[in-house]
Homo-oligomer: A and B are copies of this chain.
Amino acid sequence: MWPLSRSLKPKQLLPLNGDETLLQQTAKRIGLKVELSRLYTVTHESHKFEVKGQLAERYPGALHNVIGEPVAKNTLPAIAIAVRKIHALDPGAIVGIFASDHAIDDEAAFFAAWDAAMRVAEDGYLVLLGIKPDAPVTGYGYIKPGDVLNKTDAAYPVQEVEAFVEKPNSVLAQQYLSQGYLWNSGMFVLRADVFMSLLEQHQPKMYAQINAMGDQPTLAEYGALESISMDYGIAEMAAKVAVVPVDMKWSDLGSWESIYQKQPKGADNNVTRGHVVASDTSNSLLWAESGVVSTLGVDNLVVVRTADVTMICDRNRSEDVKLLVNQIQDRFPSMTETHLTVQRPWGSYTVLEEGGHFKIKSIEVSPNSKLSLQSHAHRSEHWVVAEGTATVINGDQVLTVKTNESTYIPAGNKHRLENNTDQPLIIIEVQTGERLTEDDIIRYDDIYGR
C-alpha cells in the first residue's frame, strides 16, 4: 500500500478501511467474541509502541499481551511465542490465530465459522478458515476440501483438507474456482497443546528453542529461529487438518484496488480521502494524506499523495505498485522506510526541512509524556516551544520553558523533554552538527523500556 505504508508503518497500522486502523478494527472484532485481556498481539519490536498506542486509544483491554519480535521472522515463530504463553496458562485452550490487516465485512459469518472451527479443534484438529472464492484470483494459495467432519451448523460444515495448493496460474485458478476450492486465508483455530505437539513433531529444533526462551525473547534467541510460515512449518504436514468454508466479505487489502472496492463510492464512482478537488473524474481512488489532490478529465486512476511523494497508477495496475516501490527504493530509499512524520511512544515528530548541516523538526509531546533521558555525540539542539509548556532537563538544570521561550542543548549534554501538563506540547527543534542521524542517541533512562 505504498506510499501510505512504509516498512516502519505497515498497513495494519493505517486507517485504510474506515476511521480506525486495520489493527484497531481487528481488536474490535475479536473483542466482540472474547475478553480482550485474552488477546495476544505479536508485532515487530519497532512497531510495538505504535501498536500499543493504537490499542490504548480505542481498545485498552487489549494492552495486556503485546509481544515484540526483536527481528522480523515468518509467521510460525511469531505464532509460537504467543501460543507457548497461552499453553503455559491453559494447555487445552483453543487458540484462534488471525491476521491484523484483513477486512471482514460480514462479522456474523466470521463468528459462525470460528464457532464451527472450535467444535472440531476440540477434537485435536488444526482448522483453517477457507474463503469461498468469488473470482479466479492467482494471488492466493488454495485449499481442496474433502469429507465433511462435522455439520452441527448446517451452513458451516467443517471438512477435511484434502490438499494445500500453491498459488495457481489463471487457467488453474479458473478450474479451482469451478471445483469448489477455497482460498487459504491464513486464519487458524487449534488447541494450544495441539500446536505445541505439532511444533515438537515437525519443527523439533524450534520447539526446543521456544521452550528455552525467557519471558521476552532476546534478539539472539529469536534471531536463531528458522524463518518459516505456519503453513509450511506445520499446517501442511499435520495429519488432522480441517477447513471451514466461509463467505464473510473478506479481503486481505493487498492492493489499492482492493481498498477502492471496499470503500463507499461518491459522485462519479470515486472514492476520496482528505482534500480532493475532482472535475470530470470517474472511477478513481483519490487519497490526499497531505496537501491537496486535484484532478481533471481522468478515469480509473489511483492517486495517493503523502508529504513526500505522489503516486499515480492505473487502477488495473495497482497490484504492480511493488515494482514501483523497487525503483523508489533504489533512488529514494528513505521513502520506502518511513514517513516524514514518525510516531513515537511519547507522541510524534515531523521532519520539516533538512539542510547541509541542519535539520528542522516539529515535535509533538502528548500530555503527561516524556522522551528518554538522552544525549547526542554529534549534534546540538535548539528547542523553541511553539505551543504548551515544556519541562526540560538540560545537563544539571531543570527548566520550565513556556510558549515562545527556548533552550539550547549542546552536543554531549544529557537532556530530556517532558510534557507534564494536560495540554499538547509542540516544540520546534533545530539540530545542527556534522552528523544528524536518528541513531546518534545514547539513552540513559526511558519509561518505555527502549
Interface residues of A (CB under 8 A from B): 3, 275, 277, 279-280, 288, 291-298, 301, 303, 305, 307-314, 316-317, 320-321, 323-324, 327-328, 331-332, 335, 350, 352-353, 355-358, 360, 362, 380, 382, 384, 386-387, 403-406, 408, 426, 428, 430, 432
Say yes or no: A296-B309 contact (C-beta < 8 A), given A277-B324, A327-B277, A358-B387: no
Contact residues in B for A292 (Cβ distance below 8 Å): 308-310, 328, 332, 335
Contact residues in B for A355 (Cβ distance below 8 Å): 386-387, 426
A349 to B291 Cα, complex, angstroms: 19
Instruction: In the A-B complex, list the 8 residue pairs whose CB atoms are closest, starting with the nearest.
Output: A297-B317, A297-B314, A296-B313, A358-B386, A292-B309, A352-B352, A310-B310, A384-B430
A418: min CB distance to chain B, Å: 20
A124 to B279 Cα, complex, angstroms: 50
Cβ B328 vs Cβ A312 within 8 A: no
Contact residues in B for A382 (Cβ distance below 8 Å): 384, 404-406
Say yes or no: A320-B296 contact (C-beta < 8 A), given A277-B328, A358-B426: yes
Nearest chain-B residue to A309 (Cβ)?
Answer: B292
Contact residues in B for A362 (Cβ distance below 8 Å): 352-353, 360
User: A404 is contacted by which of B279, B403, B408 (Cβ under 8 Å)?
Assistant: B408
A303 to B327 Cα, complex, angstroms: 19
17 contacts between A and B (CB under 8 A): A275-B332, A277-B327, A277-B328, A277-B331, A279-B324, A279-B327, A292-B332, A293-B312, A294-B312, A296-B320, A296-B323, A303-B312, A352-B360, A357-B387, A358-B426, A380-B404, A386-B432
Cβ A312 vs Cβ B332 within 8 A: no
A240: min CB distance to chain B, Å: 45
User: A311 is contacted by which of B3, B294, B352 (Cβ under 8 Å)?
Assistant: B294
Contact residues in B for A3 (Cβ distance below 8 Å): 294
Q: Is the interface of A mostly helix, strand, loop or mixed?
A: strand
Cβ B275 vs Cβ A291 within 8 A: no
Say yes or no: A313-B291 contact (C-beta < 8 A), given A279-B324, A384-B430, A428-B428: no
A253: min CB distance to chain B, Å: 19
Say yes or no: A430-B432 contact (C-beta < 8 A), given A301-B312, A360-B352: no
Contact residues in B for A335 (Cβ distance below 8 Å): 292
A324: min CB distance to chain B, Å: 5
A281: min CB distance to chain B, Å: 9
Contact residues in B for A316 (Cβ distance below 8 Å): 297
A313 to B286 Cα, complex, angstroms: 13
Cβ A406 vs Cβ B432 within 8 A: no
Nearest chain-B residue to A352 (Cβ)?
Answer: B352
Cβ A360 vs Cβ B428 within 8 A: yes
Contact residues in B for A408 (Cβ distance below 8 Å): 404-406
A356 to B424 Cα, complex, angstroms: 12
Cβ A387 vs Cβ B314 within 8 A: no
A294 to B386 Cα, complex, angstroms: 34
Contact residues in B for A312 (Cβ distance below 8 Å): 293-296, 298, 301, 303, 312
Contact residues in B for A324 (Cβ distance below 8 Å): 277, 279, 294, 296
Contact residues in B for A295 (Cβ distance below 8 Å): 311-313
Contact residues in B for A307 (Cβ distance below 8 Å): 291
Contact residues in B for A321 (Cβ distance below 8 Å): 296
A280 to B312 Cα, complex, angstroms: 12
A273: min CB distance to chain B, Å: 14
Contact residues in B for A309 (Cβ distance below 8 Å): 291-294
Nearest chain-B residue to A277 (Cβ)?
Answer: B327
A231 to B56 Cα, complex, angstroms: 69
A323 to B295 Cα, complex, angstroms: 11
Among A275, A317, A386, find the residue whose CB has the most chain B CB atoms closer than 10 A. A386
Cβ A308 vs Cβ B280 within 8 A: no
Say yes or no: A305-B297 contact (C-beta < 8 A), given A331-B277, A384-B406: no
A316 to B356 Cα, complex, angstroms: 41
A292 to B292 Cα, complex, angstroms: 15
A309 to B308 Cα, complex, angstroms: 11
New A-B pairs, 10, CB < 8 Å, besides A296-B321, A298-B314: A277-B324, A279-B323, A296-B311, A296-B314, A298-B312, A301-B312, A312-B312, A355-B387, A360-B360, A380-B404
